[in-house]
Chains A and B, each alone.
Chain A
Amino acid sequence: MTTLLEARGVSRTFTVSRGMFAKKRLLHAVSDVNLHIAKGEVLGLVGESGSGKSTLAKMLLGLLSPTRGSIHLGGVDVIGMSRLDMARRIQPVFQDPYSSLNPRKRVVSIVSLPLAVQGIGSAEERREKAIAMLSRVGLARRHADLYPNELSGGQRQRVAIARALVVEPELVLLDEPTSALDVSVQSQILNLLLDLRGDLGLTYVFISHNLAVIEHIATRVAVMYLGRIVEQSERDALFRDPRHPYTRALLDSVLTPEPGLGVPDTGLGLAMPNPLDPPPGCVFHPRCSELGHRCRTELPRTVQDAGGLMACHLYDGGVARPHDCLSPLPACGERE
């Protein structure tokens, strides 16, 4: 499998002002992220709000440059690449099809705009190409001359997908593409994305907080927490045998439509981390159910084994050394 996109040690910080006289502080939105995306795969990126998924997505799209680390697309560093070149190879689809389409343009001009930007074909050819792509995503010819507000949410998201695919990109970055849609429409869009991937040989980065959707569509999954990837494995391995305590809690939290099972106890604490003041050691330790002494002080390394990658002391020598349990310091497993 050829690597299409590779991120090495990518970090991004933002300077945050905390009032007129307060000192500016650094917010670490993404820290030391390594990713390989092979041609033809669907990488599911999972995480809760504030985990840095969207910042990472912007960097992958070339809309934001990393503070540290590098991103290579097809073996070429994206820093040297022009915006036009990037846009030809990576295209995004965003969450909200109500705000991501220009309300004053007709559908056909929205979809053909990327072609015009790239200088592909004559106006007539671009229109034909756009209409062909619209029919590929399941919209009729009569939809081409409508405005976005004349379409339903699902139809708008189809327009956004057509716009992304019309320049035949290698990679499509889907940022919560079905989260704003109703359940019955969500399944139509997921079916469409699966069909398109099979027919056009596309590679997706699929960002979502919905684990059932990720399990359905992704081939490999990376779990983010507070700017870091804490676990990364093949889809089946991750869902069958989640190993990082955060991944386990996430999977436990999924409410499948099975009555009588009640609401699961995730074992997570309520201590939500402040991204401006991240906890020392493992960033997940204040909420972790398997907290040990090492977790409070030592940042876990990312280790690899047959199952995948994870950043947790449990898989790198254990969370506590035996003498920790005998010391008068906070006891092993004690919750903060």
Chain B
Amino acid sequence: MAPLLSVSGLTVDLATPRGTLHAVRDISFDINAGETLCLVGESGCGKSMTALALMGLLPNSATRRARHLAFEGGDLANVTPRKLASLRGNRMAMIFQEPMTALNPAYTIGDQLIEVHRRHKGSTYAAARERAIELLEKVGITPAGERLGQFPHQLSGGLRQRVMIAMALMCGPTLLIADEPTTALDVTIQAQTLRLLIDIQRDLGVAILLITHDLGVVARVAQRVAVMYAGEIVESATAASLFRKPRHPYTRGLMASIPIPGRTPPGERLGSIPGIVPSLIGEVRGCAFRDRCAFAFAPCAETVPWRVDNEHGWRCTLPEVPAEAAA
């Protein structure tokens, strides 16, 4: 079966006063219907730019190139803006990090939910309202009928994010792109919201591209994971395989950096990654992680091969990084 979304050789360049910033550098991944893929990485690694590039929402200073970009079997790379607008919010929908800025403060949540459905489906007001009530109930906002008349500021952050989820689902999309959907929420609300997302995915069979920096979220939600560093995918595997045996020195460094309750002895030194992320302005050659890597040697400045072991892939000069990599 063809994947729901197929991305090959996606590149995003941003024009900045200091030169071209290579925000996303030649990345490829597929998402199958109904599965969850997590894009994980630290700030500036290009994960959000990837999401915006897929939705056609890049800023004007950005240029997007791709060898191949297909969604639901149709070409996504060369569609007209009008066709893309008809897909967006309809077949593919997005959930942003900050629900307060993503919702319009001047309209009731009912207006905003109903508008999406009427616009994409051409439905009557009554039918769209019924759909809105159905979805608010689905995301646990009750009594839904009364909530429709409320404004975003009358809801707590957790409920607002639920409204965003309901809105994204209004037209029955096949792909949900969620960019740090729980990062702005408190821990207890985060767990509740993620559970809701998982339940919805199981019930509706929608695929999710989840973008996050939080390895805990990745481990608990993802089926497959792509780790991004400096605009590239440096490792890609099933969640089970990635956490059991991370291959890339960067992934290993990340995993050693977080204290794990019950496993990391309290008060002991944590692992860390020395140095900082390199600038992506101008030409980037070789492995972008080599300045921070304990195993770097001369060939790392050349083109780095993509290695594959079963379904686990990673980009590294060394065929096998020694196990004690997490220094």
Contacts and interface: CB of A to CB of B under 8 A. Distances in A.
B26 interface: no
B37 to A, nearest CB: 14
Contacts of B157: 49
Interface residues on A, range: 35 or more
A299 interface: no
Interface in A111-154: 152, 154
A306 interface: no
A270 B258 contact: no
Interface string B231-261: 0000000011011100000000111111111
- Interface majority SS (helix, strand, loop, mixed), chain B: helix
A251 B187 CA distance: 9
B216 A184 contact: no
B232 to A, nearest CB: 17
A257 interface: yes
A292 B258 CA distance: 38
Contact of B188 (A212, A213, A216, A250): A250
A186 B187 contact: no
B261 A249 contact: no
A256 B272 CA distance: 18
A83 to B, nearest CB: 33
B75 interface: no
A319 B107 CA distance: 43
Interface in A81-97: none
Interface string A241-284: 00000000111111111111111111010101000000000000
Nearest to B40: A183
A48 B188 contact: yes
9 contacts: A48-B188, A49-B157, A184-B273, A187-B272, A249-B188, A254-B187, A255-B219, A257-B255, A264-B195
Given A254-B187, A254-B216, 19 more contacts: A182-B213, A183-B215, A187-B258, A215-B259, A252-B191, A253-B190, A255-B190, A255-B191, A255-B194, A256-B216, A256-B261, A257-B215, A257-B219, A260-B239, A262-B198, A263-B195, A265-B195, A268-B192, A272-B156
Interface of B: 42-43, 140-141, 156-159, 186-192, 194-195, 198, 213-222, 239-240, 242-244, 253-262, 264, 266-267, 269-273, 276
